[in-house]
Amino acid sequence: MDIQDERTRLLDADGSEESDVRSEQDIYLDKVWNGKLYLAAFVSVLGPLSFGFVLGYSSPAIPDLMASPDPRLRLDPNQASWFGSIVTIGAAVGGLLGGWLVERIGRKLTLMFCSLPFVFGFAVIASAQNLWMLYAGRALTGLASGVTSLVVPVYISEMAHQRVRGTVGSCVQLMVVTGICGAYVFGVFLPWRWLAVCGSLPPTLLVVGMCFMPETPRYLLSRGRRREAEEALRFLRGPEAPVQWECARIEEACDQQGAGFRVSDLREAGVYKPLAIGVLLMFFQQATGINAIMFYAENIFEDAHFDNRALGTVIVGLTQVFFTGIAAVIMDRAGRKVLLCISGVAMAISAAVFGVFFHLTEGGHSGVESKVEGSLGVEPQVDLAWLALASMGVFIAGFALGWGPIPWLVMSEIFPSRVRGFASAVCVLTNWGNAFLITKFFQNLLDLLTKAGTFWLFASMCAINVVFTVVFVPETKGKTLEQIQDKFRGTRAL
């Protein structure tokens, strides 16, 4: 029995208005089995796991390399800062490459492709004989991270359905933070070369696993490959679901939207509105200062007399994993907007408290040296250091609950298929470009504004985030991708 017949049967049997509420969509989704959808999502998030590992890698590797007995590989502070930040430049370029690849060769092959620069980059680092090999390896793994941060959210949102899209989509960030934490934990035991070898395992598994996973039905239908799209849907929705029904809905949307991106599309509300929202979400994510605070975490731990730096970073990593996990579980019930607001408020307050902490302890200094004064016996700082520790905890937990996962999730939900590659590339470029600026010029910002001023700047950005969320960010919970795009085009109420 097809979906329309079943709906008519339900209406006849009940006869009441209430049955009307059970839309065709609900009837369809009740027949869906999600096992293989989760499997495909699990394989694809080995990509974000690898990219998290790349981000976390520098934290344990830099101290090792700065103390290297081989002078060709010994990093000075300036080289160490490039070793850390070159990844973000590679990733910004990777975002552009990814945007082009997803349209040319499809989502699945792009995902398989990004394993190459991951594995090759880690191999170059593991066998490095000089500084340039270290930089090249970091740039390559950065490039792979950029491609991954574009293609995986797109892959997941195009194959998931609205009942689970938030949770499955949030697993992208969950795996990023798991990768970061994994690099910190393994970094405690492994020297930098072996750590690089370890980093190449998830992308190797990714390429093997993806051989058995389907291309997304939306990509296939946008290329007119209906039979393959039905097969992909049958894989993803299980044997009970009448997948022709979903295929027809997606096909209708593809026909309405037309194929291929043209520059003139930017004049349409259905394109420029989501693009502006996506770009601003990425800008604001970085403007919270998350990367600066993660970078600064080790100093905070030292101020608080936590002598074990490595343990400190592991605690930061675990906090992120825990709260990102909570966000993933509640995403489809709580909705994106509520979580973004809670997250923004938590970060605004904690960054402001951070500023107060520095204002009280800094005594006019702007550099990292104030911790030395702290340990030289200016006693009140010892107690206040716990304030810094607490606000760092709240900040990181707040980020993990909203501004960590949601910009990536919303980016993958709001664009019409034909511009998804281009528009996501612009978002990824904005994100990584800003991540580079913040990590590279954080010290200059401290010199210019003092530490207190810098953290108050971050706090004000977080407050602006909240206003931006309330006014502009649409709620995408429980909507199909097509309904979300209709809303931007103004053709149907959301």
Q: Which residues bind ligand BGC (CB under 6 A)?
A: 55, 173, 176-177, 285, 290-291, 320, 404, 431, 435
Q: Over the range 61-97, which residues count as b (16 or more CB within 10 Å of their CB) and which as e?
A: bbbbbeeeeeeebebeeebbbbbbbbbbbbbbbbbbb
- Token pair, residue 246, equals 């979903």
Q: How far is the CB of 223 from ligand BGC (least distance, A)?
A: 30
Pick from 155, 106, 408, 426: which is nearest to 265 by CA? 426
How remote is the C-alpha of 138 from its chain's centroid?
19
Nearer to ligand BGC, 236 or 339 (CB): 339
Report whether 458 contacts 292 (CB < 8 A): yes
**Between the CA of residue 344 and those of 164, 175, 399, 459, what are the distances in Å?**
24, 22, 8, 9
Report whether 345 contacts 382 (CB < 8 A): no
| Residue type at 319 in one-letter notation | T
- Token pair, residue 13, equals 């049997």
Report whether 434 contacts 280 (CB < 8 A): no
Report whether 91 contacts 131 (CB < 8 A): no
Q: How far is the CB of 173 from ligand BGC (least distance, A)?
A: 5
Nearer to ligand BGC, 56 or 217 (CB): 56
Nearer to ligand BGC, 146 or 214 (CB): 146
Q: How far is the CB of 52 from ligand BGC (least distance, A)?
A: 8
Nearer to ligand BGC, 257 or 285 (CB): 285
| Residue type at 285 in one-letter notation | Q
Nearer to ligand BGC, 106 or 146 (CB): 146
Q: Sign (positive/negative) of CA torsion 99, 101, 103, 106?
A: negative
Nearer to ligand BGC, 162 or 320 (CB): 320
Nearer to ligand BGC, 49 or 220 (CB): 49
Task: For tokens 């499955």, name the residue.
Answer: 168
DSSP per position, 401-415: HTTTTHHHHHHHHHS
Q: How far is the CB of 55 from ligand BGC (least distance, A)?
A: 5
Nearer to ligand BGC, 96 or 254 (CB): 96
Q: How far is the CB of 371 from ligand BGC (least distance, A)?
A: 23
Alpha-carbon gap, residue 413 to 487, rounded angstroms: 12
Nearer to ligand BGC, 172 or 385 (CB): 172
Report whether 388 contacts 360 (CB < 8 A): no
Q: How far is the CB of 363 from ligand BGC (least distance, A)?
A: 31
Q: How far is the CB of 85 from ligand BGC (least distance, A)?
A: 12
How remote is the C-alpha of 438 from its chain's centroid?
17
